[in-house]
Structure 1
Amino acid sequence: MSETVEIRNITAADYLDLRESMVSAYPDMAGSYWGEATIQRLIRLFPEGQIAVTVNGKVVGIALSIIVDYDKFGDNHTYEQITGYYTFNTHNPKGDILYGIEVFVHPDFRGRRLARRLYDARKTLCEQLNLEGIVAGGRIPNYEKYAERMSPREYIEKVQDKEIYDPTLTFQFSNDFTVKKILKNYLPNDEASKGFATLLQWFNIYYEKDSDTIRYNKSTVRIGLVQWQMRDYGGLESFMQQVEFFIDAVSDYGSDFVVFPELFNAPLMAEFNQLDPAGAIRGMAKYTETIRDRFLELAVSYNVNIISGSMPIVMDEVLHNISYLCRRDGTWEQYIKIHPTPGEVYAWGMKGGSEIKVFDTDCGKIGIQICYDVEFPEPSRILAEQGMQILFVPFMTDTQHAYNRVRFCAQARAIENECYVAIAGCVGNLPKVNNMDLQYAQSCVFTPSDFNFPVTGIKAESTPNTEMVVVADVDLVLLKELHAFGSVQTMRDIRHDLYKVVKK
């Protein structure tokens, strides 16, 4: 005979089936089943939190929950305290935690993954209600067999390492719960657990603390990359007209970010060709702050966050390669290239910066690295550990070999740091500008490599060596899912016990 399995909310009419299943589920806790009045009270208080699994219409398992303001209880509480001594007056619809107060499946129906269905339904409810997570006290019913030779902590560690099987705790671990604390006298009458319990927690990766406010971080972010054509613009105003043209075009597509390449303002160096290379680039640096200010005006007027490519700047007599984040709210921050290339050091005397930081935006946390920087994995890892979701890499390369170094390293950064990486470069040539003869580029948006992303790890890419824009959407929620449920989880599985990357 075929079986029909259904997950639904409990009704008052389910009580007899529920009681029969509970008595069978807890033979070592006789008389501890839920009373009919108690179940009806829970249904009245929080109907969507009381979940049943049925087989051919018969209730064979349940998951009961309430919502609590967890700070009022903290980690040191008993079952009686969290349930208001079974009155459930602790239930608070405006709380932040879904608290699991019961889960069981009739023993005749175990082995069919019905409990997993109950847990999945509870997780879905937590996400729908935008709660921070699920907390529950968990029994450790096999502990009585080991209590004389090991502490509860040792027992839990061995269950986690799969050296010992515990029917409750092993299941909790397999459902992504972590042990937050060991509780004493949580259920004093639970002789099998010797009165101990685990305080278990599951985090809702979709939780948004400020979801009820107007200003919130977007989940889908649109990125516009400008593949910039090097040409003679005849001066700053003509140059800025071309800049505004691209910002206007990308803004029309509703982009959240527009990204320009490294040293894309090099055409302005033609004015200083009579100088040696170091003098010429220092001459061009006099335009940098003016261009930054114009970018800031354009960011506000076109409602788009701008990664300003990079430009030379002289600070305290030292030449740097600087990029600006010009936010659409009128604020800005800067990033200085950490690793000048040997050519930049030799020809221009350029020095590297010393700051590695993540920038907050209205579309999540971002990082900026300039060209050669992305070929060093350590700074990107530090940014990822600070929560970076998108890494922007303005670059300029003269040959395909140089371009491939940037491209392959950028794609590696996306995979190992579980983030998006967007690279934007210059194309064409500048025959009248010394040291800026040729450029080669193919601008791209790279993704991690897992089932929710393109099989190539490439979200979008331009036609090589052609002036154009690339517009692509990236989903930040997919990153959260990757961190929690990916086939491999490179950020989580780092061997911090063996090595670490530390900024001095």
Structure 2
Amino acid sequence: MSQTTFDVALCQYAFGSVKTIDAFWERITGLFERCGPADMYILPELIGYDVAMSNSREEYQLRSSEIEEFHDKLAGEASDRDAIIVGGSYRVSDEGELYNRAPIALPDGSLRTYTKQRPVPAEREDGVASGSHGGPIFEHNGVSAGVLICYDAEFPDVVRDVVERGAEVIALPSLTGSVAGYQRVSRCSAARAVENQAYVLQVPLVGTHPHGQKCGTGRASCFAPCDDIAGPDGTRLTLPADEHAVGVQRLDVDLIRKSRSSASVRPFSDRLVFE
């Protein structure tokens, strides 16, 4: 009997004060090379800050030309690696609105974007608007993967939406500037994995930017359900805190499917019992 597995590469990026997209991309591909082959690579939320802050950019936005170049590089790399690449996120101005947007490159060389639905209060104070569409779902090698961003994980309905549309694996780029913020997003990610019987992969931006305007803390983690099918320990992988680091986890997706149908507790479907 064949087993459905899905290799995920968690690429925890530390600020490096790069001034060009080429230098930025060199640091990113260095992480990819350290990971080796995978079905999906995940970079952190607002990784684009590294370029924008180094160039003292207003509102820390990437220019349209930089975004286009970044997208082209992501798409080419996804095609070469036959993988989904969740390219973290960046700030962008679009038709007069400021957004926090994630590029997702696909194995066929195409690219889609997702706009964060739940900006934190500090983002909203900066003028960042909410995205109006749910997280996208992508099929690759027999597995359905969804994408959300950081604070989205603190809203069960936002996560449930992508799961109800088929997500078995959820990529969650994040940026948390305090231990409290990291713990909040991490604990909510673990809770979303349990209640949806899905894998949730949180990958933070870490370190302090050399210019001092921004910092991030945390450690990338892979969370799973805790039950008699998926196993008692819901944490599959955790990276060293606050380091430029990578880790690859092989996910047994058949376990998730069996957990949802046969575990002794089934919150994914039992929610309907109580409605």
Question: TM-score with structure 1 length normalisation?
Answer: 0.52
Query: Which amino acid in 2 is paired with 1:289?
Result: E
- CA change 1:283–1:311 in 2 (3 A) is closer
1:326 paired to 2:105:
yes
Offset at residue 496 of structure 1 (A) = 5.9
Offset at residue 483 of structure 1 (A) = 1.3
Q: Which residue among 255, 267, 270 is the counterpart of 1:478? A: 255
Query: Which amino acid in 1 is paired with 2:20?
Result: G
1:335 paired to 2:114:
yes
Pairwise CA RMSD of aligned residues? 1.9
1:469 paired to 2:252:
no
Q: What are structure 2's unaligned runs of at least 5 residues?
A: none
Offset at residue 402 of structure 1 (A) = 0.3
Extract structure 1 runs of 4+ deviating beyond 3 A. 282-286
1:352 paired to 2:137:
no
Partner Cα distance (1:286, 1:317) in 2: 17
User: In structure 1, what is the equivalent of residue 14 of structure 2?
Assistant: 229
Offset at residue 453 of structure 1 (A) = 3.0
Which structure 2 residues correspond to residues 14-29 of structure 1 after superposition, within 5 A?
Answer: none
Query: Which amino acid in 2 is paired with 1:396?
Result: L
How many residue pairs match? The answer is 274
Instruction: Show CA shifts across 1:303-349 (max 9, x none).
Output: 32201111112211211111122112212222110011111111x31
Q: Which has the larger radius of gyration?
A: 1
Mapped contact 1:269–1:433 kept (Cα < 8 A): no
Partner Cα distance (1:272, 1:283) in 2: 10
Offset at residue 229 of structure 1 (A) = 1.1
Offset at residue 440 of structure 1 (A) = 0.4
1:417 paired to 2:200:
no
Mapped contact 1:358–1:365 kept (Cα < 8 A): no
Question: TM-score with structure 2 length normalisation?
Answer: 0.93
Instruction: Show CA shifts across 1:364-405 (max 9, x none).
Output: 211111111111110111111111100110001111100011
Mapped contact 1:267–1:433 kept (Cα < 8 A): no
Which structure 2 residues correspond to residues 143-182 of structure 1 after superposition, within 5 A?
Answer: none
- CA change 1:258–1:405 in 2 (3 A) is same
Offset at residue 479 of structure 1 (A) = 1.2
Offset at residue 357 of structure 1 (A) = 4.2
User: In structure 1, what is the equivalent of residue 39 of structure 2?
Assistant: 256
1:457 paired to 2:234:
yes
Partner Cα distance (2:258, 2:61) in 1: 46
Instruction: Show CA shifts across 1:427-472 (max 9, x none).
Output: 11014153x1x21011000001112334220011101112110110
Q: What are structure 1's unaligned runs of at least 5 residues?
A: 1-127, 129-205, 207-217, 499-504
Partner Cα distance (1:464, 1:413) in 2: 22
1:362 paired to 2:140:
yes
Partner Cα distance (1:249, 1:340) in 2: 31
Mapped contact 1:288–1:312 kept (Cα < 8 A): no
Which structure 2 residues correspond to residues 49-60 of structure 1 after superposition, within 5 A?
Answer: none
- CA change 1:220–1:288 in 2 (3 A) is same
Query: Which amino acid in 2 is paired with 1:377?
Result: P
User: In structure 2, what is the equivalent of residue 247 of structure 1?
Assistant: 32
Q: Secondary structure at the match of 1:492?
A: helix
User: In structure 1, what is the equivalent of residue 50 of structure 2?
Assistant: 267
